[in-house]
């Protein structure tokens, strides 16, 4: 009699694609690991073929204070799956109010025979699939669509009723009687319910008056959500994720991400140069931009005022040129900008469109003082400068 060989399996082990996605999301969404893990878990089910065929792959209500990444996580997910953060369907619920008599037509389309009946509705199958081609390859069988309902608490009650049907059956009948299938979709709903109370709580906590801020803020948000949304709506959600308020350390990490984006914009500008920012300047930017109440929004505004706009003026006045290195520091409470002229070696031939073909990575190797370097893409030539 043959002996049966049994192998011990590890159900906590995930595939390479899942792990790469999680790392991408965590690299750009700071301090919100619970939300990232919920999305990754849903995609693991979707890719394994075990997600429900009768409802959307995932429906999450993302709540919490403003400026903590609720909308941003949908954009980062779209970038990770489809290469661009705009490759999603976004419904701005602040215009879907009772006062707007045409809000239904904008997302459902007009009935047959009415004006603009041939105009695609925002939630038509054609619309949500229109951007799901990547490099000529159909992706909708591999990656789910991303539907973002931003500030859902501001939408009219009729919109909530419409969502009930989508969340329950995964289907929606449009004004022209066409049916949209949402079973291959991830639906993310953002909400600011309770955010003002949470902001007040965080400010009290920063003064030492509240001991357990995360637990108290969760209760505030969930209580506010139960008052704004009906039980049958909340019961159809896969979960409510309360985003944590950002700490100073979180803001410092977000600063590096935002500065990296500034460097990438400079590289893509056509006359690129490199940026090096001192640790003192980074700390000053974080201190000026960190806000317990407004999260990362003020940080981005500070970067724009203190770094982006001055750099734009340096470019327009031709004080900085192609191939230079711009050193940004602080002195006497002000930001300083110093230029170092750099002679770059041509790393590739022939000349493309009349200009030398230079590799960004080789350029970077020549300038080890650079403190900000954009993330490498899969294509080794994606950061080449021509």
Write down how long the chain is.
386
Q: Which residues contact 224 (CB under 8 A, 6 or more apart)?
A: 193, 194, 197
| Residue 205 in tokens | 């906590």
Write down the pLDDT at residue 385: 27
The strand pair at 137-138 and 145-150 is best described as unpaired
Dist CA 287 CA 293 (whole Å): 14
CB of 257 within 8 A of CB of 250?
A: no
Dist CA 171 CA 179 (whole Å): 7
- Which tens digit of pLDDT belongs to each residue from 173-183? 988 888 999 99
Write down the pLDDT at residue 33: 92
Identify the bridge partners of residue 173 per DSSP, sorted by sequence position: 179
| Residue 80 in tokens | 């990770």
Dist CA 159 CA 165 (whole Å): 10
Q: Which is more confidently placed, 204 or 80?
A: 80
Least confident residue range of 19-28, 330-339, 349-358:
349-358
Residue with tokens 């929606």: 172
Least confident residue range of 12-16, 23-27, 134-138, 178-182:
134-138
Phi, psi of 275 (to 5 degrees): -120, 135
Q: Which is more confidently placed, 107 or 283?
A: 283
* DSSP summary character for residue 93: G
The strand pair at 325-331 and 334-340 is best described as antiparallel
Q: Which is more confidently placed, 349 or 284?
A: 284
| Residue 77 in tokens | 């997910």
- Which tens digit of pLDDT belongs to each residue from 239-253? 999 898 888 999 999
Nearest residue to 286 via CA among 298, 275, 274 = 298
Mean pLDDT score, 11-28: 92
For residue 96, name the pLDDT band (cuts at 50, 70, 90).
Answer: confident
Mean pLDDT score, 164-190: 91
Describe the crossing of helices 70-82 and 33-48 by its angle, rounded to 10 degrees. Answer: 40
CB of 110 within 8 A of CB of 175?
A: yes
Write down the pLDDT at residue 368: 37
CB of 76 within 8 A of CB of 29?
A: yes
Write down the pLDDT at residue 342: 60
Burial label, 368 (beta-carbon count in 10 A; 0-12, 13-18, 19+): exposed
pLDDT at residue 370 is higher than 80:
no
In 59-191, which ranges are continuous DSSP H helix? 70-82, 103-108, 125-129, 157-169
* Rg, C-alpha atoms of the chain: 24
Write down the pLDDT at residue 254: 94
Write down the pLDDT at residue 177: 86
Q: Which is more confidently placed, 179 or 352?
A: 179
Full set of structural domains in the chain with CATH: 16-245 (3.40.50.300), 249-341 (1.10.8.60)
- Which tens digit of pLDDT belongs to each residue from 302-346? 999 999 999 999 999 999 988 888 999 999 889 999 998 765 443
The beta strands (E) that lie in 3-107 are given as 58-64, 89-92
- Which tens digit of pLDDT belongs to each residue from 103-154? 677 788 766 555 555 567 889 888 888 766 554 455 445 788 999 999 999 9
CB of 164 within 8 A of CB of 232?
A: yes
Residue with tokens 């500070």: 302
Please state whether the predicted TM-score (pTM) of the whole model is above 0.85. Answer: no
């Amino acid at each position: 009699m043959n002996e049966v060989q049994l192998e011990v399996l590890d159900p906590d082990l995930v595939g390479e694609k899942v792990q790469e996605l999680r790392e991408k999301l965590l690299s750009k969404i700071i301090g919100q690991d619970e939300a990232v893990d919920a999305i990754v878990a849903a995609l693991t089910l979707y890719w394994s073929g075990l997600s429900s065929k009768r409802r959307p792959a995932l429906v999450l209500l993302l709540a919490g204070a403003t400026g903590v990444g609720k909308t941003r996580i949908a954009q980062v997910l779209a970038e990770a799956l489809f290469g661009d953060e705009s490759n999603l369907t976004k419904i701005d619920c602040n215009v879907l109010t009772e006062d707007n008599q045409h809000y239904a037509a904008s997302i459902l389309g007009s009935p047959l025979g009415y004006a603009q009946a041939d105009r695609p509705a925002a939630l038509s199958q054609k619309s949500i699939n229109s951007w799901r081609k990547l490099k000529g390859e159909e992706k909708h069988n591999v990656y789910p669509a991303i539907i973002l309902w931003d500030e859902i608490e501001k939408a009219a009650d009729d919109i909530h009723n419409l969502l009930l049907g989508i969340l329950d059956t995964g289907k929606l009948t449009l004004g022209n009687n066409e049916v949209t299938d949402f079973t291959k979709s991830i639906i993310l709903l953002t909400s600011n319910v309770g955010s003002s109370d949470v902001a007040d709580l965080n400010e009290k906590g920063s003064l030492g008056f509240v001991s357990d801020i995360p637990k108290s803020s969760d209760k505030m948000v969930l209580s506010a959500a139960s008052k704004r949304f009906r039980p049958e709506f909340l019961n159809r959600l896969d979960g409510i994720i309360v985003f944590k308020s950002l700490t100073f350390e979180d803001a410092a990490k977000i600063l590096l991400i935002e500065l990296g984006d500034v460097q990438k914009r400079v590289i893509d500008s056509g006359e690129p140069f490199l940026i090096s920012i001192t640790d003192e300047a980074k700390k000053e930017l974080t201190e000026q931009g960190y806000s317990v109440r407004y999260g990362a929004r003020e940080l981005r505004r500070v970067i724009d005022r203190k770094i982006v706009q001055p750099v734009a003026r340096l470019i327009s006045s031709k004080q900085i040129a192609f191939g230079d290195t711009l050193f940004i520091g602080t002195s006497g409470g002000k930001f300083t900008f110093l230029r170092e002229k750099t002679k770059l070696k041509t790393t590739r031939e022939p000349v493309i469109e009349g200009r030398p073909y230079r590799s960004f990575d080789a350029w970077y190797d020549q300038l080890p003082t650079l403190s900000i370097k954009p993330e490498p893409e899969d294509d080794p030539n994606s950061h080449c400068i021509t």
